[in-house]
Amino acid sequence: MTKVTFIENNGNRIEAIAEVGQSLMQVAVNSGVSGISAECGGACACGTCHCYVVGNGLVTLPTPDGDEADMIEFVIDPKANSRLSCQIAITPDLDGLIVHIPASQT
């Protein structure tokens, strides 16, 4: 069981129980996180699943691969902790992950 918390730009917190093997984007969409519209469905082709990973998650997560890093360059307001949630696979060691939704995606 992996617990994930999404924090929307207005401060609203959405806590979700993620299944191993799902993508973080799928967890967000299923939990009604409206800032993650994930328009391309998870193909690393749109950038609308952009999020900021905070805290321990940053250390635990593997670094973005080439396609993800390229797409992050194109999103609005990219930061050092920017990730595309569709490229993050849920694993048990991500338990407690905290994710902020960018202001531009409300």
Take residue 62 and report the two structure tokens written for it: 């593997």
The interface mask with another protein, positions 8-47, x = CB under 8 A, is: ---------------------x--x-x--xxxxxxxxxxx
**Residue 64 in contact with ligand FES, rule: CB under 6 A:** no
Alpha helices (H) along 5-106: 24-30, 57-60, 66-72
Take residue 100 and report the two structure tokens written for it: 């902020």
3-state secondary structure of 6: strand
One residue of 4, 51, 84, 97 binding ligand FES per CB under 6 A: 84
The interface mask with another protein, positions 52-71, x = CB under 8 A, is: ---------------x--x-
CB atoms under 10 Å from CB of 27, counted, come to 24
In whole angstroms, give the CA distance from residue 9 to residue 57. Answer: 19
Smallest gap from residue 89 Cβ to ligand FES (A): 13
Which residues sit at the interface with ligand FES, rule CB under 6 A? 25, 38-40, 42-49, 71, 84, 86
